[in-house]
Structure 1
């Protein structure tokens, strides 16, 4: 088990959290390799052949950052919008293949039952996010959710985390994510992160990015809620 022992029950500054912010893509639903393949195909349309592992390492960033990260500033300037449009065309046929991770719905139900305001946070396109919400029963469980319409800049910028808190009037939050970019973005607002390894990042990388605890799966996280900041909400 990679879960941390003695994870703090309170976020930095001693404030207990009132809001649980769940990343959606790669954390609740198993999308990362679909994203990587769609980006690879989009780049190939323009004669660019990045190694797929490099694309995977950038996942968790939004598309506004990913093109430059993978192909450089010049490609972003000249073809960024076209590449993002190509990614959409490549990704959408895969939507029906995507499934939630085991235990996703049960976990968010339990966290909500413990008194937290629950936000499902994504900077994805509205239609994609709504599809993923349906996969985990999110419309009935969550207090709010986000899409690309809600943010000006995606992760690693902290906009998504800030908007998530604003949507529910939260004072302090806990981020639950699968990538180093989740932890980096949350840390900019002093929001602690709990990470699951469903995004393919190592426990060491996630901790170095700022994660308080790292779990192999949502099931493992669910079984250890009492030992961390999701034990109970502060209201």
Structure 2
């Protein structure tokens, strides 16, 4: 049984995936590179180190990788004030915390973005720890951030809550189960195929069904 809840931030707690997709589209266009937005969206959830070669190709990474990531930050900063938390985000975090789980908000985002998002969900006073892009050598779909999240709180067994296939794949590499929500725009089939053990339409639906998931109660506790 689990003792630690690891929540992805972007696309799971705050509604950012389409802003990210548009920011990446505009960053690529600065270099006369056009990728369809649907394809860009399917890469959202990966960190920039993985995103550029995956979407742009290895040649683009070699020629413009760092510049594209810098351009993406500039473009996303222009959109960040549009970002809002998903309904029920704070309530779900509070519920999981009240059940006795260690709570880690795990993001591969830039530190200034993560700080902003945590403020949107009033998450800092609930979280035992949080991560940013500075806390792992490689981002999702590599498992570095999930591993770091567990280490931050000395967790023995975690449960990931995420919105993208990349969350599921990263957690699965450490045998950490993922509860997925469809807030990132991925289908039930995509999330299940990537390894999600349950998929919910919203954070509110997940909260209603917590007792049916590994977040029912932390390890060491039993039902009365």
User: TM-score, normalised to structure 2's length?
Assistant: 0.97
2:109 pairs with 1:124: yes
* Distance in 1 between residues matched to 2:192 and 2:122, nearest whole Å: 30
Q: Which runs of 5+ in 2 are unaligned?
A: none
- Bigger relative CO (Cα 8 Å, ≥ 6 apart): 1
* Distance in 2 between residues matched to 1:111 and 1:136, nearest whole Å: 14
State the Cα distance separating 1:96 from its structure 2 match.
1.1
Match of 1:4 in 2: none
Match of 2:165 in 1: 180
Match of 1:97 in 2: 82
Aligned residues: 220
* Distance in 2 between residues matched to 1:106 and 1:84, nearest whole Å: 33
Match of 1:81 in 2: 66
State the Cα distance separating 1:149 from its structure 2 match.
1.1
Q: Runs of 4 or more off by more than 2 Å in structure 1?
A: none
Aligned residue for 2:79, secondary structure, equals: helix
Aligned residue for 1:213, secondary structure, equals: strand
Aligned residue for 1:139, secondary structure, equals: coil
State the Cα distance separating 1:33 from its structure 2 match.
0.3
Match of 1:9 in 2: none
* Distance in 2 between residues matched to 1:71 and 1:91, nearest whole Å: 18
Match of 2:196 in 1: 211
Q: Which runs of 5+ in 1 are unaligned?
A: 1-15
Aligned residue for 1:140, secondary structure, equals: coil
Match of 1:68 in 2: 53
One of 9, 23, 46 as aligned partner of 2:8: 23
Match of 2:33 in 1: 48
2:139 pairs with 1:154: yes
Match of 1:7 in 2: none
